Amino acid sequence: MSDLLNKHVLLAMIFSVGFTFSAWSQTDETPSRDALMLESIYKETLSNAKAYDWLRFLSLQIGGRLSGSVEAEQAIEYTKTILNDLGLDRVYLQPVMVPKWVRGAPEYAYYETAPGLSTTVPITALGGSVATPSMGIKAKVVEVKSIEQLEKLGRRTIEGKIVFFNRPMDPQIIQTFQAYGGCVDQRYSGALEAAKYGAVGVIVRSMNLRKDDFPHTGSMSYGDSPINSRIPAAAISTNGADLLSATLRLNTDTEFYFKQNCRAFPEVKSYNVIGEIRGTVYPEEIMVVGGHLDSWDLGDGAHDDGAGVVQSIEVLRTLKAIGYKPKRTMRAVLFMNEENGLRGAREYASEAESLGEKHIFALESDSGGFTPRGFQFDTSPENFERIHKWAALFYPYFTDRFELGGSGADVGPLKSQGAVLAGLRPDSQRYFDHHHSDHDTFDQVNKRELELGAAAMASLLYLMDTYGAEASN
């Protein structure tokens, strides 16, 4: 684009701003109080946000922070210090026991088309997997596209082999989280199911729409199957999966070797980190904005969910900076152990229950630090209809897609309190390029995109604070 286009763009802006204003002031000649408040929030965040600097430290100085790790403890200390420095009404740690699973020495894998002819491929142990025997596992491979296919193939075909789950994410689905939902059963239950037919190990195609060399980890479960029936499971990169599949088409006797050294330890004590601004009118009504402080151990967890953590803190910083005094109590909650246990979320909801706290609203950011497109709300259709009217206020910020739907894993347990739940919905196209892999790194987060998310969250919190979370308020 040259400067010549620029004249067109300027014209466009004039038109566009006119069009925009009409969306939220069709009757008024001047912007509404709410429109002015959103403008003030966005200006503050886009000019003075600290979120990106906090994320830089969390990502580059601390790094991946799996539950129970030293890094997770460092992240607790660091974010508590930030919250303290904001001068909130209350900052505290909420103890919670979390699982501790450790990857150990890096995984190693190759396939062998003939003795001595081998090609290494990038793999990573799935979270919660058992290790291979110390000498590794070497076996022939059965490629399948689904768990259902296991039954058709039966024990005679599968026994003694490594099952290779290779159903890719569907590129025709626009929202990538939906494509992820259509594949993740292979990762979560593949080992449990394959073991029933005598498989000795499981290799799963990474949940990634891109063709690259990053294997993507993520949680898996053995259910309550006996310890000695549990087989090791690893993810293979998408390029690796395509290579392996092509090789198997040429030679079905191809042998695959892998070795992994992961191990589960006894549970350890960890914490949710919480910062609070006390409400001036209805202090007993609590509104939560949050993300999860733990991440997988690969990469540095900048998108998943460093972004949500720093955005949540930024919401409080921004509202304080513009001098906003909430009527209701606002809390930034940095949940521990979302990735492999959800213990922090359960503990938070359970303690809220036993303290008799009343949560009216909980908003999570856990879909990456990309340009926000809108929010999803988990509430009644009637209440959603009311909330949906606010969408027009977000039109100037390109964040006006409000939908009924899900929210976030960490705020989920608050549903039983009757809270309205919501999730920030950023652009989803690049999320799974990074998710749970070495490619989830700070340099992949854009400062403005991150800040636009924080400003949108602060704006929604302001509206909920002003009008209450339910239609009856």
For residues 179-218, which are near a second copy according to CB under 8 A? Answer: 180-181, 184, 187-188, 209-210, 218
Nearer to a second copy, 201 or 301 (CB): 301
d(CA 414, CA 352): 9
If one asks whether residue 56 binds a second copy (CB under 8 A), the answer comes out as: no
Q: 139, 264, 391, 409: which one contacts a second copy (CB under 8 A)?
A: 409
- CB contact at 8 A, 49 and 41: no
Q: Among candidates 291, 287, 285, 286, which has minimal Cα distance to 273?
A: 291
Q: 143, 300, 304, 438: which one contacts a second copy (CB under 8 A)?
A: 304
User: Cβ of residue 342: shortest distance to a second copy, in angstroms?
Assistant: 6
d(CA 6, CA 431): 31
Active site residue 338: yes
Q: Among candidates 451, 367, 442, which has minimal Cα distance to 62?
A: 442
Considering only residues 412 through 451, tell me which ones interact with a second copy, judged by CB under 8 A.
Answer: 412, 423, 427, 429-430, 433, 435, 446-449
- Which range binds a second copy by CB under 8 A, 2-10, 102-110, 265-273, 282-290? 2-10
Nearer to a second copy, 124 or 254 (CB): 124
Nearer to a second copy, 100 or 187 (CB): 187
328-335 and 263-277: which strand pairing? antiparallel
Contacts of 66 (CB under 8 A, 6+ apart): 72, 101, 102, 127, 294, 295, 296, 297, 339, 340
If one asks whether residue 300 binds a second copy (CB under 8 A), the answer comes out as: no
d(CA 467, CA 14): 32
Each residue 382-401 as x (binds a second copy by CB under 8 A) or -, in order, gives --------------xxx--x
If one asks whether residue 165 binds a second copy (CB under 8 A), the answer comes out as: no
Considering only residues 124 through 143, tell me which ones interact with a second copy, judged by CB under 8 A.
Answer: none
Nearer to a second copy, 232 or 368 (CB): 368
Nearer to a second copy, 7 or 152 (CB): 7
Tell me the β-bridge partners of 286. Answer: 329, 359
Q: 376, 437, 441, 459: which one contacts a second copy (CB under 8 A)?
A: 376
- Give me 458's structure tokens: 């602060």
Q: 42, 78, 256, 324: which one contacts a second copy (CB under 8 A)?
A: 42
Q: 254, 329, 407, 437: which one contacts a second copy (CB under 8 A)?
A: 407
CA distances from 126 to 105, 188, 199 (A): 14, 9, 16
Q: 26, 30, 172, 228: which one contacts a second copy (CB under 8 A)?
A: 172
Nearer to a second copy, 143 or 294 (CB): 294
Q: How many CB atoms lie within 10 A of CB 464?
A: 25
Q: What is the DSSP string of 176-214?
A: HHHHHHTTHHHHHHHHHHHHTTT-SEEEEE-S-SS-SS-
Catalytic residue among 71, 143, 255, 338: 338
If one asks whether residue 322 binds a second copy (CB under 8 A), the answer comes out as: no
Chain CA centroid to CA 153, Å: 35
CA distances from 308 to 31, 74, 362, 403, 451 (A): 30, 17, 13, 20, 11
Nearer to a second copy, 10 or 70 (CB): 10
- Which range binds a second copy by CB under 8 A, 7-15, 146-154, 316-324, 354-362? 7-15
90-102 and 263-277: which strand pairing? antiparallel
Catalytic residues: 338
